[in-house]
Amino acid sequence: MRPSLHVKLDAIRHNVRTWRAFLGDRPVWAVVKCDAYRMGMVQVARAALEAGAQQLCVVEIFEASELRAAGVDAPIVHVAATPSDDFETALKDGVAVSVGDSKRAGELSKLAKKLGVRACVHVAIETGTGWWGIPSADAAAFAQAVVGLENIEWEGVWTHIAGPDSMATQMERFRTAIAALRASGLAVPEVHAASTGPSLWDCNEGAVRVGVGLYGSCLGSDRAPEGLQTACEVRAPVYAVRTFTEPTPLGYGGTYVAMSGQTIATLRIGYGEGLPKTLAGRGVAILAGARCPIVGAIGMNFTMVAVPPNADVDWRQEALLVGDIPGVRLDEVAAAAQSIPHNVLTMIGSGMPRVYDDVRTASTASSSGE
């Protein structure tokens, strides 16, 4: 008796098609970093590509190597300033690297020439996160220092948007940097600044790096694609059902007291399986078709829910804590947990084995479209 995490690959395919329709002619790139938010990098990448994602984005070169080893031959871009130690692996695997300073660009050029290959490079621009990249004001000097380097194709330029409040200023800096790069001879035809959030905050330029949006999140935005589906399910078996005959404190700390006559179901899931503890007193489970509030503190392996009087619940049933049903959709669960959808996904993905629904055994690993 244990909880389960089901990754719905058809829902991921549906969501990619939904984002493509919403974004029009703009390219959709699937972000599969951190094992695709712990949902399974190879499986999610294949599903996204089958639905028409044009590229994949990773944060570590070893992630790209794992995709190549699995037979995924779609374009991959490293959306972080690529360490020099990873250049050779990236070049051999045909991964687009990112550079954020002229010194590394020079090292990359020498290595590419030595290997007899042409490096595909994206320029990382620092506009307001402070993580890495070329400050917008230094873009012209960078371009002038690297424009003559051999064996480099300057394919793209990108930045990270820190939030909706800073986006206008960051995009102004980004556009200034792009103009400086191009004026100094770097083509950088591919532009990408928007991830899921900025694409909903009116960042209307270039490719969109869709990450949490693959799983149905629109981050609570009113301007969201219609019909997105929560692409995972968290199910927990009922461990016990009890109707109390006297007031009884529940769980650690006794933060909730069950009243006489109240029915409580204990579910076999807790924070040890990645369920956010902050759902206590705020979240719900769907059990026997009824919304059952989570009551008492969430334990490491057990969670209690209050069963409505008209619900027919027994120990042979399962409760749904995340799924494509009102009340437990990804964004709703994240809001109830006072967290973000990214965190909810990575927590549950780290806590439970994954089961894949809708796997296509004849799955293509290219970016050929639908």
For residue 120, what is the enclosing H or E element?
strand 119-126
Count CB atoms within 10 A of the CB of residue 317: 17
CATH architecture of 8-215: Alpha-Beta Barrel (3.20)
Given a cut of 60, whether residue 295 has pLDDT beyond it is yes
Sorted by where each begins, the domain ranges of the chain are: 8-215, 232-323
pLDDT band at 249 (very low <50, low <70, confident <90, very high): very high
Burial 281-299 (b: 16+ CB within 10 A, else e): eebbbbbbebbbbbbbbbb
What are the tens digits of pLDDT across the range 306-344? 999 988 888 789 999 999 999 999 999 999 999 999 999
Q: How would residue 365 be classed by pLDDT, with cut points 50, 70 and 90?
A: very low
Mean pLDDT of 196-205: 93
pTM of the entire predicted model: 0.93
Instruction: Provide the CATH number for the domain formed by 232-323 in this structure.
Output: 2.40.37.10
Predicted confidence (pLDDT) at residue 55 exceeds the cutoff of 50: yes
What pLDDT does 359 receive?
77
What is the predicted pLDDT for the residue at 284?
A: 98
Given this model, what pLDDT does residue 366 score? Answer: 37
Confidence of residue 364 (pLDDT cuts 50, 70, 90): very low
Are 346 and 334 a contacting pair, CB within 8 Å? no
How far is it, in rounded angstroms, from Cα 21 to Cα 210?
A: 13
The pLDDT of residue 132 is 85
User: Mean pLDDT, the chain, as a whole number?
Assistant: 94
Report the alpha-carbon distance of residue 80 to residue 158 in Å, rounded: 10
| Per-residue pLDDT at 1 | 82
User: Is it the case that residue 130 has pLDDT exceeding 90?
Assistant: no
